[in-house]
Amino acid sequence: MTEFRIEKDSLGEVRVPANALYAAQTQRAVENFPITGMKPYPAFIWSMTVIKRTAAVVHKDLGLLEANIADAIIQAADEILAGQHHDHFVVDPFQAGAGTSHNMNVNEVIANRASQILGVALDVAKKPVNPNDHVNMAQSTNDTIPTAIRLGVLWKFDELIVTLQNCADEFKKKARDWDDVVKSGRTHLQDAVPVRLGQEVGAWAKAIERNIEKLKFAAEGLRRLGIGGTAAGTGLNAHHEYHARMVKGLTEITGITLYESDDLFESMQSMQDAVFFSASMRNMAQDLTRIANDIRLLASGPTTGLAELTCPTVQPGSSIMPGKVNPVLAEMLNQSMYHVMGCDFTVMMCGQAGQLELNVMMPMISHNLNEMMIVMIGSVRAFTEKLVSGLILNREQAERWLAKNPILVTALNPVIGYNNGALVAKRALAENKSVREVVLELGLMKEEDLDKALDAYEMTKGGLQGISAGG
């Protein structure tokens, strides 16, 4: 067998690797865009394939596609959905043409494999299944790619939510376990009023859960599909029942709740749903990196930092300093979330770059959204399993810092006043004394009242310390 075969498209003949399931247009794209060597993400391959499969079913049912050709397309698609032939999807994500090269790559692979199923070899010039006329029937790059973007995100959406919720649940467990631990709060990285460690960690869990709700809300917009708009939103060359049947069919094959678009033109022109979801991912990322940084601060030391927490030991921390252990999982999460935030900026810029009836930047929107999903799922899962679940409390250290905290005097403000409180705090720091000692020395409060007012645990409940109701 020869190393190459000849394929033809509207521009002429192209040499294609002999065993490649793709054809001329894919080969031109490979030659035109040798940019990164990256290939489409599995989510994109899956989403485009389910679109092609569903279209074949719809057109068979409408009597617009011969049954044997439709069945061959369906079988070829099923093979791809089962994980076969993925090495034939070869177009670099960094390309032009709104994703036409991606679309034709899928069309050609399915068409050639369908022709093989019908008994026709790859090197036969005229094959029974045509990538444009049959696999791409009633479709355009302009409506399939936006649909694939939405489906690709929704494909991994449940996994994303479960991963994030698992992280929140681990923090909630820690919050319950540590709710009796009173420690110094810190604002501006300076000593502040006491908080319970359970309150501090519980707030991390709540932040994640609030972001989960925002992600769920944003995902609803992705469920509206514009498939059937064809080239510009008019639905030219598509049966009048095609749009509704496609949405119904895609819902059935994917198990994902999907809706018909109420405006096919808007669904094709605007990438706002993708941009909105991307922004929700960015919001989650910025909160996660903030939490990771808090853990790094609280675990700093162990002898010269805060050291209220200890991160699990997962690897040596230094190639030169023996015994050093670093918060590597928190650092990994930081870097991962910075990458997610960078991807969001790309999605936003690509989203605003649409012109008139089409956004030609869709390949980058798809690539970055899929990358954001993969990176967030993988990094948060590792962070949860390898760091959060194994976080260790250093109770004695937390109590030691609290005992030295002159800001405890804040609780006395309603009794001794702000100015006296400032005097006490400054003197306590200067003379290395406790707030209690200085207040008693100055005769500002009775010992019994003072001890009650300086109950750090009670301070974490809020309210007025040392003052009874009504007086």
List active site positions: 318
Calculate ∠ Cα 236-242-245, nearest 5°: 165
3-state secondary structure of 310: strand
**Cα 135–Cα 139–Cα 145 angle in degrees, nearest 5:** 100
* DSSP letter for each residue of 29-65: HHHH--SS-----HHHHHHHHHHHHHHHHHHHHTT-S
**Which residues share a beta bridge with 5?**
16
Q: CA 33 to CA 38: how far, in whole Å?
A: 11
Cα→Cα distances 141→48, 92, 240, 383, 385, Å: 10, 16, 19, 38, 41
The closest alpha carbon to 226, from 137, 133, 148, 134, belongs to 148
Contact predicate 223/258, CB 8 Å: yes
Provide DSSP, 168-197.
Answer: HHHHHHHHHHTTT-EEEEEETTEEEEEEEH
Q: Which two tokens stand for residue 356?
A: 């008139």
Region of residue 310 (left: phi > 0; alpha: psi -120 to 50; beta: else): beta
β-pair partners for 185: 192
Decide if 46 contacts 111 (C-beta within 8 A): no
Length of the chain: 471
Cα–Cα distance for residue pair 131/116, rounded to 1 Å: 13
The answer to whether 389 touches 172, Cβ cutoff 8 Å, is no
